Amino acid sequence: MKLLLNALIKFIAGLILVGLLLFLPAGTVNYSGAWLFIAFLFIPMLLLGVVLLFKAPKLLQKRLDGREKESTQKGVVAFSGLIFLAGFVVSGLDFRFGWSKVPLAVIITASVVFLLSYGIYAEVMRENAYLSRTIEVQEGQKVIDMGLYGIVRHPMYMATILLFLMIPLILGSWYGFIVFLAYPFIIAVRIKNEEKVLIAQLDGYAEYIKKVKYRIIPFIW
């Protein structure tokens, strides 16, 4: 019950926060792109949360705990939060003042990519029971090198980058997209720091990075 209550509080708080960040700058609730994004984000989130609550409550608990201990990661989380806030506000203002217009075909494509990326995110959580929102090596943790982890070393970050980049397009804002373009660079900093921790503390990780050469983009990086 404590886990359920914690999850519900964070879910409702997130829903309210996203609504305020979008509808207040837009100056109206008649913002179809915002409603579309909210549906795409929170309906799968609710379904995934219910599945984790019954199938993997320990993993859900780890996903709800976002307090970083590494100083570099604290900075990454702070900058990611700023990108999130700025991107939403700019997108809302863009809708309000009509600064840019994203073609319907791009919005549809972005919506499909967003949902597919959510599917990748869910699959990563299925494959890796050690997933945490913080950078840490847990007791008994082992290197995962199968499935998506056999293609890239950080499939979760690959999914989140796609998710973040699709958000402003769903919202119909090219200016918001420019803001969110900073996110992949922030994630690159997080990955480099995370891998230093994993190489130093997780047995077999040094061998794993030799086996799987690419971090998030096959044949590129």
Q: List domains and CATH numbers for the chain.
A: 2-211 (1.20.120.1630)
Burial of 104 by CB count in 10 Å (0-12 exposed, 13-18 middle, 19+ buried)? exposed
pLDDT, averaged per 10 consecutive residues of the chain (221 residues), comes to 81 93 96 96 87 76 64 77 94 96 96 93 78 55 81 91 95 97 91 86 86 88 87
- What pLDDT score does 147 carry? 85
Distance CA 62, CA 7 (A): 11
- What pLDDT score does 116 carry? 94
185-208: b or e for each residue (b if 16 or more CB lie within 10 Å)? ebbbebbebbbebbeeebeebeeb
Q: What is the pTM of this model?
A: 0.85
- What pLDDT score does 205 carry? 86
What does the CA dihedral 216, 151, 143, 125 come to, rounded to 10 degrees?
Answer: 70
- What pLDDT score does 138 carry? 54
Distance CA 126, CA 122 (A): 6
